[in-house]
A and B are shown apart, each in its own frame.
Chain A
């Protein structure tokens, strides 16, 4: 997995629009998860088309496939990236928000 050097969380407090604790953050998680599902479904669609064009029945091949150590490592890293992405707004990604001076509020 590529190291993340660019911060993924901005400084300062997130705005809260819903009164119930955590709703905005959960919504953010769901949208990020949906983004990942979307990317994954597109990848799968493309894989099916590529293999189909070469006469390979992918469903059967997948059932027979034996994972190697390298496969395990790659899939594990991808799982970790997915978790960090989905949980980014819950502060679990290791890219925590820094403090910020909070006096830049809208001018009157």
Chain B
């Protein structure tokens, strides 16, 4: 079917719908975006690249087509529609406010000024629908193969271990909300010894990130671990802990970067840990997955050389962040490092970028995101016991995409904050890392 006939069909649908909704110009603009989406040139995202492990689900051609569509839709929203939104702000909203002497100098003020504007409504509504569709399109294949996946996950381990604690109280920020708009979140169990939440999450990453996290979804762990290896060549950790690991996709690169180290990973949710363990086993990588709350770890003092986390803290209430950092300080050996990939702090980014990044706080079931980004990260670490002079932060390109040589060159100047920092963008995301040595 050609794209013009799709446009005609949709126009027919809208002709029925528009008079009743009484906002024809708005909806026609959205329709324009949909038609533009179908007219995108070039190949779509490849939905058959990743999942090189036994827990991968087999996909039908329709699975691949649906996933490719949603991935393309998300990419369109985050590039084209977000670009339109920014342009509307800079060329219309901001000058209008300036005429009346009002300055839009905070992310909150920008949000307030934009929330009744059509481009913001269109962007937000389509982005929300696309986010919901991510989980919808991946759940079909997982649903079909649930029994097989749960069976595979019970295979005896030959490399690492899995230790679950059925009595562990799950924190409310995990159970009380479907984070990322993911139905059931990451803790819900649909069967005995269930891995569903892990399988859905693993499958959703490619669709969500349109391939930006690498073939094994491991670019963040690969980048952050290689940063330490290259920046501190004399540092040779023997024990590494990943906190809030979900499916272990960013845990396993640590075992590859530091092959002699023992790698441990914790998460509060059992289904993702079962999946993480089975996935790691099938890839032949030794890692030890344990169900534990990062705010109250059961490890001895001074047990790890590295405490790592990725995209973890911004999902925690501030009180839990403070508890987690104190625990991280406690379990670190003297001379060890806390090293985390996170969203860049608000004080390092322009106001509009902060408004844009904080969208998720309000609309993506990530209610602690904005509060976290408002914090002085160095002060958080000082309050947890680290010394100010031991604070480390850096921005860096994605290691698996640029290669070691370009990566080495890029990390010489390691504090470049720009519009690509911490933001998924096909033009080249830069990750932000921060932490501290334990003196």
A residues adjacent to B (C-beta < 8 A): 2-12, 14-15, 17-18, 20, 22-24, 26-28, 30-46, 85, 88-89, 95, 100-101, 103-108
Partner of A2, one of B13, B132, B144, B371: B144
A37–B66 CA distance with the chains assembled, in angstroms? 9
Q: Which residues of A contact B196 (CB under 8 A)?
A: 5-6
Chain B interfacial residues counted at CB < 8 A: 67
Q: Which residues of A contact B317 (CB under 8 A)?
A: 107
Given contacts A31-B73, A107-B318, contact A6 B184 (CB under 8 A): yes
Is B26's CB under 8 angstroms from A2's CB? no
Whether, in the assembled complex, B65 has its beta carbon less than 8 Å from a beta carbon of chain A, the answer is yes
Q: Which residues of B contact A32 (CB under 8 A)?
A: 129, 133, 136
Is B62's CB under 8 angstroms from A5's CB? no
Q: Which residues of A contact B181 (CB under 8 A)?
A: 10
Closest CB in chain A relative to B85 CB, distance in Å: 12
Whether, in the assembled complex, B96 has its beta carbon less than 8 Å from a beta carbon of chain A, the answer is no
A108–B153 CA distance with the chains assembled, in angstroms? 42
Q: Which residues of A contact B362 (CB under 8 A)?
A: 15, 106
A97–B218 CA distance with the chains assembled, in angstroms? 33
Chain B 162-188 interface mask (CB, 8 Å, partner A; 1/0): 000000000011001110011110001
Is A30's CB under 8 angstroms from B66's CB? no
Whether, in the assembled complex, B148 has its beta carbon less than 8 Å from a beta carbon of chain A, the answer is no
5 contacts between A and B (CB under 8 A): A4-B143, A5-B146, A6-B183, A12-B177, A28-B132
Chain B 23-47 interface mask (CB, 8 Å, partner A; 1/0): 1001100100010011000000000
Given contacts A8-B183, A18-B26, contact A35 B70 (CB under 8 A): yes
Partner of A37, one of B1, B121, B177, B178: B1
Chain B 347-386 interface mask (CB, 8 Å, partner A; 1/0): 0000000000000011101011111000000000000000
Given contacts A43-B65, A107-B370, contact A20 B22 (CB under 8 A): yes
Closest CB in chain B relative to A42 CB, distance in Å: 4
Q: Which residues of A contact B132 (CB under 8 A)?
A: 10, 28, 88-89
Q: Which residues of B contact A9 (CB under 8 A)?
A: 183
Is B136's CB under 8 angstroms from A28's CB? no
A108–B290 CA distance with the chains assembled, in angstroms? 33
A22–B70 CA distance with the chains assembled, in angstroms? 22
Q: Which residues of A contact B139 (CB under 8 A)?
A: 4, 6, 8
Chain B 103-142 interface mask (CB, 8 Å, partner A; 1/0): 0000000000000000011101110111011011101101
A7–B43 CA distance with the chains assembled, in angstroms? 31
Q: Which residues of B contact A46 (CB under 8 A)?
A: 61
Report the nearest B residue to A11, measured CB to CB: B178
Is B10's CB under 8 angstroms from A30's CB? yes
A61–B208 CA distance with the chains assembled, in angstroms? 39
Partner of B27, one of A14, A23, A39, A88: A23
Is A18's CB under 8 angstroms from B200's CB? no
Partner of A10, one of B26, B122, B143, B182: B182
Is A5's CB under 8 angstroms from B1's CB? no
Whether, in the assembled complex, B405 has its beta carbon less than 8 Å from a beta carbon of chain A, the answer is no
Is B9's CB under 8 angstroms from A27's CB? no
Chain A to chain B: the 6 pairs with minimum beta-carbon distance, closest first? A39-B65, A41-B1, A10-B178, A107-B371, A28-B129, A7-B183
Report the nearest A residue to B37, measured CB to CB: A34
A41–B182 CA distance with the chains assembled, in angstroms? 28
Whether, in the assembled complex, B6 has its beta carbon less than 8 Å from a beta carbon of chain A, the answer is yes
A28–B136 CA distance with the chains assembled, in angstroms? 12
Whether, in the assembled complex, B419 has its beta carbon less than 8 Å from a beta carbon of chain A, the answer is no
Whether, in the assembled complex, B190 has its beta carbon less than 8 Å from a beta carbon of chain A, the answer is yes
Q: Which residues of A contact B361 (CB under 8 A)?
A: 106
Closest CB in chain B relative to A82 CB, distance in Å: 11
Is B136's CB under 8 angstroms from A31's CB? no
A33–B361 CA distance with the chains assembled, in angstroms? 28
Q: Which residues of B contact A105 (CB under 8 A)?
A: 367
Report the nearest A residue to B146, measured CB to CB: A5
Whether, in the assembled complex, B304 has its beta carbon less than 8 Å from a beta carbon of chain A, the answer is no
Is A27's CB under 8 angstroms from B61's CB? no
Is B367's CB under 8 angstroms from A106's CB? yes
Closest CB in chain A relative to B422 CB, distance in Å: 19
